[in-house]
Structure 1
Amino acid sequence: MTDGAPPATPNPPGAVKQPTRPKLSEVLGPGLITGASDDDPSGIATYSQAGAQFGYDLGWVMLFSYPLMCAIQEISARIGRVTGRGIAGNLRLHYAKPVVFGLVALLLIANTINLGADLGAMAAAVGLVIGGPHLLYVALFALLSVGLEVFVRYSRYVAVLKWLTLSLFTYVGVALVVHIPWAHVAYRMVVPHPVWSAAYLTVIVAIFGTTISPYLFFWQAGEEVEDVKERPGARPLTRAPDQAAAEFQRIRWDTYIGMAVSNVVALFIILTTAATLNAHGVTDIQTSAQAAEALRPVAGPLVFTVFALGIIGTGLLALPVLAGSAAYAVGEAVGAHVGLARKPSRAKLFNGVIVAATLVGAFLNFTPLDPIKALFWTAVINGVVAVPIMAMIVLLGSRTDVMGDFVLPRGLKTIGWVTTVVMALAAAGMFATM
């Protein structure tokens, strides 16, 4: 048995037709969107702070975290594709309901705060570029995101999200405009020079909390389930084992490329802010908009404008992932119909969570509670939630009563457990440095 899959039979009945060499556009999907959404405006703020405060000293974290991200996201995708159910749907069947409901409730709270922070950052970016009323932009972005997610056909909406991933490459372009000592960067990435201070450890913990976050697990698994429903002839692998080899190969490449895009873009943001802000003594960055504004006097109006527009593009990509992952988790936890491909009337709770989470997040910007400052508590919640969810995901992927013949290969399971331990240490570090 290879990769947990039985040998394929020639032209089995009901099989999904797979080209010998699938096009890249056919391979890229849930993994690419998941990875790209990881670089949301809140993540941009974290990476900007890393570069501004510590220069080129934290690039190694992006290299180190890459295989960990790939492992946990591939495991999540496999669970969705094999079982035909998302993460919360499988947790509901195999773990105590109070535990599942508690974790899902914390995820919903964290995602809602994150939505508010991202909406605020996007509005601030628009204000920096063209001026105008901040709160109006918050409301417009919220309504646009909800409208697209609820009312646009799933296949078209996913295509839009794929194109939005291109907005991330604005940060690659920005990094190529400023002067970066590439030889020094490469050396520091493979030979780290850690600074054993609370501030250094805090930023490392923040990066791990940004790159390996619970909402990403739920989203990628949920999107695999959506693809099973949308693609003619596709079925959960427990019922169509002949499809396994091609599907696992697609998931692997989709995930590896998606996570690579995420980490490369994050690295370029760190390098850009290191070469500009850190080099000019600007070391305290709290928001992505503040990072863009700080770039204007030291890097010029072009870099400032491109950086700010990138915040808007990445925000438009991240909003549906944050709201959608919360909706998948809540809907599956209670056994309700879920899915972006379903008509709103057929998935009322699912779409209700999308609307409520987005609008409540937007409303936070109209209150004295600053959602960007509340991101601290999002990090705390994610630190608490991520470790048990990751442990349960790896255990689910290892159970034959869940995965049938497609339990996780030993290597993938090992890296999954290593990732869980690293995140446990990161959570402990977060509490130690609070």
Structure 2
Amino acid sequence: MGTAVIERLKSIGPGAMVAAAFIGPGTVTTASVTGASFGYALAWTIAFSIVATIVLQEMSARLGLVTGKGLGEGLRDRFDSDVAQWVSIALVISAIGVGTAAYEAGNILGGAAGLEVITGVSSNVWGPVMGVIAGALLWTGKYEYIEKTLVGLVIVMAVSFVLDAILIGPDWGALATGFVPGIPRGSLYLVTGLVGTTVVGYNLFLHASSVSDRWSGPAGLAECRTDTVLSIAIGGLITIAVLVTAAAAFPNGTSIENVGRMAEQLEPLAGTYAKWLFSVGIFAAGFTSATTAPLAGAYATAGALGWDDDLTSTRFRAVWGTILLVGIVFSGLGYSPVRVIVFAQVANGVLLPIVAIFLIYVMNDDDTLGDHTNGTWSNVLGAIVTLVVVWLGIRTLLSIAGVV
């Protein structure tokens, strides 16, 4: 039994990259704000988000493993009409390519904020350094190097944030109650935020493409599912640990505007170790997202345009290099590209429901997947998740329009 468990644990890889991607500064910030504002009351939202992410990512990974194609290729190939093909290509490039570039500065600056707390050196200095290191890692073109680095940093995040939560000392009874669904007054935007930072559109593209670099064909499905469920569950544990830390450390209603400052605020409450652990976690969260976002953008764009998705190909490198460069420049200037991020939010809010609906459709196509189509429960769970992401997409558009 022990040997079988160890062998399954060794299969962790592409799923950990997904966890590394969604546990970024945005997730840490949202979970921190949620915990400080509403205590443990929205822990159930994280649990739901993790289940939803597992459902969609398992489908995406299965599609990539069985067909040998990425999600971008799948979207393009499924439409006979030239107009529909170009619309799908435009959506993918807008939401994924431009979207990842818009968020890249935040990923880099988020990680740099953790290093600033530890070293005292400005995040505007650490930001470009982090970006260059992430670029060097991607430039190797060695998938196994990238995967192992990200798996290692996910472990660092888990240890850092979970130990911090234990040091702070949570109210276990209140935490258990937090898993009972309920939406306190004024918390709906945070429910949307927690789901939106976990169920991430570009991760579906990243996962479908990366599984083929680890396994060959349907024979790898069992290991792939273990990897997906375990890795994403660990990601959920990390998010809950961040929420617990903030909920235990601050009275309900506390305002947290800068997640980097939260690490410093923990020191008088739980000592220097708490500050350092949280700072190390923030750094790991930022670096992993700063690496996976350009990679996801490149996979999605290459697939949509029918390019080679070899990590060493010139066009593939050009896409992730452009995304990373945008992040490095903005992080060095200390500038937040708010308007571009707003556009990215709108595009992602539109794309995610479309991709979710497409997944449900294609995962029931016998011609494409043969014996590996969805079962009844997969369809039911997928339909529920799709309805939720459609609701999130509508809320995103209404929020941007100033209606809600």
The 2-side partners of 1:165 and 1:85 are apart by: 26
Equivalent AA in structure 1 for residue 317 of structure 2: N
2:376 to 390, 399, 410: 410
Contact 2:64 2:209 in 1 (8 A): yes
What is aligned with 2:30? 46
Partner of 2:89: 101
Q: TM-score, structure 2 length as denominator?
A: 0.91
Distance 1:41 1:273 in 2: 15
Relative to 1, partners in 2 of residues 1:372 and 1:186: Cα closer, same or farther, differing over 3 Å?
farther
Q: Return the offset for 1:366.
A: 4.1
The reply to whether residue 144 of structure 1 matches residue 165 of structure 2 is: no
Percent identical among aligned pairs is 24
For residues 2-401 of structure 1, the aligned pairs below 5 Å read 23-95=7-79, 96-106=84-94, 107-151=96-140, 153-169=142-158, 170-190=160-180, 192-197=181-186, 200-228=187-215, 234=216, 236-237=217-218, 243=219, 247-278=220-251, 283-340=254-311, 344=312, 347-367=313-333, 369-371=335-337, 375=341, 377-401=343-367
Q: Which amino acid aligns with 2:193?
A: A
Q: Which amino acid aligns with 1:180?
A: P
1:403, CA displacement in angstroms? 1.6
Contact kept in structure 1, 2:349 and 2:397, CA below 8 Å: no
**Alignment gaps of 5+ in structure 2:** none
- Max Rg structure: 1
Let me know the Cα RMSD of the aligned residues. 2.1
Cα deviation code 1:259-284 (max 9, x no counterpart): 111111101101110111335x6x22
Equivalents in 1 of 2:334, 2:230: separation in Å? Answer: 40
Shift of the 335–182 alpha-carbon distance from structure 1 to 2, 3 Å rule, reads same
Q: Unpaired segments of 5 or more residues in structure 1?
A: 1-18, 229-233, 238-242
Greater Cα shift, 266-275 or 407-416: 407-416
Q: Which residue of 2 aligns with 1:6?
A: none
1:53-80 deviation per Cα after TM superposition (whole angstroms, max 9, x unaligned): 1111111111222221111000000000
Aligned residue pair count: 392
CA deviation after TM superposition for structure 1 residue 188, in Å: 2.5
Q: Distance in 2 between matches of 1:248 and 1:22?
A: 17
As a proportion of its length, which structure holds more helix?
Answer: 2
Q: Is the 8 A contact 1:73 1:217 kept in 2?
A: yes
Q: Which digits, 9 at most, give the CA deviation of each residue in 1:76-119, with x for residues without a partner? A: 00000000011001111112321221222221111112111011
TM-score (norm 1): 0.85
Work out the CA distance in 1 between the residues paired with 2:120 and 2:337.
21
CA distance in 2, matches of 1:296, 1:124: 16
Given that 2:124 and 2:334 are in contact with CA atoms closer than 8 Å, whether structure 1 keeps it comes out as: no
Tell me which residue corresponds to 1:8. Answer: none
